[in-house]
Amino acid sequence: MRANRFFIFAVVMLAVGGCHRKAVEPAALDEPAVRQLMNRVAEASMNRDFDGLASCFIAGAEIFVDAGDGPQRVTLDAYIAAARRAAKSLTDYRYEVTTSEIRFADGGAAVVQQVDETATAPWGPVRSATSATYTVRLVDRQPRIVRVEAKVIIAGPSGPLPGPEEELG
């Protein structure tokens, strides 16, 4: 079960996806700035640009992933490390994201997205469906992700990916 949870976290790392490109500095957090940030997240995820992905988050971002056994908190470093490991083991990676809602409140934005991914793992084809809510705030005049709550469902055979599972905590 621990190996399956690792795989689920790794796939979610790709799902919740990069941002290394400098955005035009917004004067306020508005919908175009939030959409630009989320587009960079999607682009980095599809291109497996993990440094770019990490730059979309604040260093102490709160990341919670629920793979069916309740939300588990993951550090940003563990999140990126798991995504890197997954990328080494997954081929034929496909990523499709839909933003269903952007709400503004309390000086920030909540972005609700659904992500469908398919890939080939060493043991066969895998598909995941993720529903995620991102909290975005302006940090040093740049929109950054400060919190993610993701629920993921994996379909297909499962097995361990290479790498230490302990890095997830």
Q: Where are the domains of the chain?
A: 2-153
Q: What is the pLDDT of residue 167?
A: 39
Q: What is the pLDDT of residue 165?
A: 40
Contact 158, 130 (CB under 8 A): no
Compute the mean pLDDT over every residue in the chain, rounded to the nearest whole number. Answer: 82
Topology of the domain comprising 2-153? Nuclear Transport Factor 2; Chain: A, (3.10.450)
Rounded to two decimals, the pTM is: 0.77
Quote the CA–CA distance of 124 and 68 in Å, as a whole number: 21
Q: What is the pLDDT of residues 131-144, one digit of tens each?
A: 999 999 999 999 99
Q: What is the pLDDT of residues 24-33, one digit of tens each?
A: 454 579 999 9
Quote the CA–CA distance of 125 and 118 in Å, as a whole number: 7
